[in-house]
Chains A and B, each alone.
Chain A
Amino acid sequence: AQRVTQPEKLLSVFKGAPVELKCNYSYSGSPELFWYVQYSRQRLQLLLRHISRESIKGFTADLNKGETSFHLKKPFAQEEDSAMYYCALSGSGSARQLTFGSGTQLTVLP
């Protein structure tokens, strides 16, 4: 079974401060990990995936297989980063569907 855990329901940081949204996963094979974001009154959308190893809107995430984590980080948070963030995992074969974590509501304070 695949499982994604986001331990923080709510996270508040001040503008300009670093931010880290935690994500841990459980999967016996080699997963693909993703971060999805939902801004207020917008659709859920892909932010980044581990396979691309890219930085989107200043966010990065590194897959740590030893710690089974995929934390999302940004060195300097902006007010427009306030949103709901979901970590998601895709397995292989019959487990290829996306399994989402419960989400973290990030609020960046002015």
Chain B
Amino acid sequence: KAGVTQTPRYLIKTRGQQVTLSCSPISGHRSVSWYQQTPGQGLQFLFEYFSETQRNKGNFPGRFSGRQFSNSRSEMNVSTLELGDSALYLCASSPGHSTGELFFGEGSRLTVL
């Protein structure tokens, strides 16, 4: 099976812009989770989607949003970018019926200038 695929792998934006990141889960997986990884804060949970519904949400401002499509692919959007949004954004998928075993993508590295 192909692994979790994230695009783009790298991107550079300026403050105030918005960005959309994409994640294709492993075939058959219905749950997609997003994490932000920074040197200072480590891995922080953003949100989880299951069958097109947000099932869980972390403590991030409303500028961070996401959605999931009927084919389980997911996107996350960050609007009005700030310098502090520079991070590696990781997507992970799982079958959805149990917790814990997440299959991670390689991440999208966002740099905000």
Whether B99 lies near A45 (C-beta < 8 A) is no
Q: A34-B100, A43-B3, A90-B100 are in contact. Are A96 and B43 (CB under 8 A)?
A: no
B58 within 8 A of A: yes
| CA distance in complex: A99, B56 (Å) | 12
Q: A43-B3, A43-B106, A94-B56 are in contact. Are A100 and B100 (CB under 8 A)?
A: no
Q: List 21 A-B contacts (CB under 8 A).
A: A32-B99, A32-B100, A34-B100, A43-B3, A45-B104, A51-B100, A86-B43, A88-B100, A90-B99, A96-B56, A96-B99, A97-B33, A97-B58, A98-B99, A98-B100, A98-B102, A99-B45, A100-B35, A100-B42, A100-B43, A101-B42
In chain A between 38 and 83, which residues have their CB closer than 8 angstroms to a CB of chain B? 43-46, 49, 51
Q: Find the A residue at minimum CB distance from B102.
A: A98
Q: A90-B99, A90-B100 are in contact. Are A98 and B45 (CB under 8 A)?
A: yes
- Main secondary structure, interface of A, reads strand
A78-110: contact bitstring with B at CB < 8 Å (1 yes, 0 no)? 000000001010100010111111110000000
Question: Which of A's residues lie within 8 Å of B, judged by CB?
Answer: 32, 34, 43-46, 49, 51, 86, 88, 90, 94, 96-103
Query: How many residues on the B side are at the interface (Cβ–Cβ under 8 A)?
Result: 20
Whether A103 lies near B42 (C-beta < 8 A) is yes
Q: A44-B90, A98-B33, A100-B43 are in contact. Are A49 and B100 (CB under 8 A)?
A: yes
Which 9 pairs, one residue from A and one from B, show the smallest C-beta to C-beta distance?
A: A100-B43, A90-B99, A44-B104, A102-B42, A97-B56, A97-B45, A43-B104, A46-B101, A96-B99
Q: A44-B90, A46-B102, A90-B99 are in contact. Are A97 and B48 (CB under 8 A)?
A: yes
With a CB–CB cut-off of 8 A, which chain B residues contact A102?
42
B105 within 8 A of A: yes
Nearest Cβ on chain B to A86's Cβ, whole angstroms:
7
| CA distance in complex: A49, B33 (Å) | 19
With a CB–CB cut-off of 8 A, which chain A residues contact B103?
45
With a CB–CB cut-off of 8 A, which chain A residues contact B90?
44
Q: A101-B42, A102-B42 are in contact. Are A43 and B56 (CB under 8 A)?
A: no
